[in-house]
Amino acid sequence: MVKKMHKASDEDSKSSAQFADTIRESAQQIWLAGLGAFSKAQEEGGKVFESLVKEGQSIHRKTQTAAEERFAEASSRMASMASDISSKASGQWDKLENIFEDRVSRALKKLGVPTAKDIDELVARIDELNRNVAKLNAKSHAAKPARAAAPAGGKRTATKRASARKTAP
């Protein structure tokens, strides 16, 4: 049995040596392929890098333009929404203002406070009365010179009548 193991171990050592040689050759080829790739990358790396930079700039411009368009669109939507909200709020304020004015006017009416319309009507009546008084004054001033031409005795009789009334019981 010892012989059989010995023979097997000689065969194993030969196959192990062949296996080690194959691994060394493969490792050498992998190493050489890596060196070749590194050399090629150094030669073409600058070109590849420049093309990558150009592609990056192009993509950057496209995304920036798209982002600006989206921002402009969002801004216009917000402005539109703000305008709508403002008009709705203005409408509500107008309604509230009308309700308040109606209630105040009713309360003042109940208290007997005249309205602006009532005051305007009174002012118009006062103006009309002032005109009428002015006309009457003008007529009375025109009539006074006619009385002055009357005899002086006529005034005495009127004075005597007035004094007689005062003394008579």
Question: Tens digit of pLDDT for each residue in 1-51?
Answer: 445 555 556 667 778 888 888 998 998 999 888 888 878 777 777 777 788
| 115 neighbors 105 (Cβ within 8 angstroms) | yes
> Does the pLDDT of residue 133 top 90, yes or no?
yes
> Whole-prediction pTM value?
0.32
Asked if 86 contacts 78 with a C-beta cutoff of 8 angstroms, the reply is no
The 3-state DSSP class for residue 25 equals helix
**Integer Cα distance of 132 and 139 in angstroms:** 11
Query: Which DSSP letter does residue 149 get?
Result: T
Closest CA to 13 of 3, 2, 21, 1: 21
First CA to last CA distance, the chain: 186
> Tokens standing for 65?
């333009």
The structure tokens listed for 103 are 């209630």
